[in-house]
Structure 1
Amino acid sequence: MERNELEWRLDPLGSHRAPQATGHDLRVVVFCDEGYASSLAAESLRRLGLHRATDLIGGFQAWKAAGLPVLVPTRSAPHRRAPSRRHLA
């Protein structure tokens, strides 16, 4: 989910919420490349009342550096981004 959609897609009281945004107890983990933008995004979600929102410290780069699983896309399969209204962070 794009950063500019988080609040209106994850607000359980919003009219444009994602189907998974069923309550303020929803566990949301946001991440970005290095963890800076995701920290701000998690704080914004907590201000909406999503008290379990958090972020991945260090972002994707820290995940990868720790040797955790990473899927690398193959060249034979072109990357097609799903419409944002259909996927969730």
Structure 2
Amino acid sequence: MRTGNEPTTARSALRARWWLSLWGLLWAAFGTVVFVLVGLPGWAAACAVLWLVIAVDFTLIVRHIRQGPHYQPGPGVPPYSPPRHRG
């Protein structure tokens, strides 16, 4: 719900999240391979699960970047009224 006190220039740092997610993908893949080669299947599985979570996040970040900017109401648009409780 819009309350009217949001910053007018608020944006998500999608490019920074993209780079951090890419970095995490690389390290999780590296960890999975190293732990498999060393013979530690539990740690390899943990890294593989982490890689999967990061891959889903990476996909969502790319999707948000491709969607482009969304409509952001300017300072001249009044805030929405708070919901009225029935009682």
- With normalisation by structure 2, the TM-score equals 0.26
- With normalisation by structure 1, the TM-score equals 0.25
Higher strand share: 1
Larger radius of gyration: 2
Bigger relative contact order, structure 1 or 2 (CA pairs below 8 A, ≥6 apart) = 2
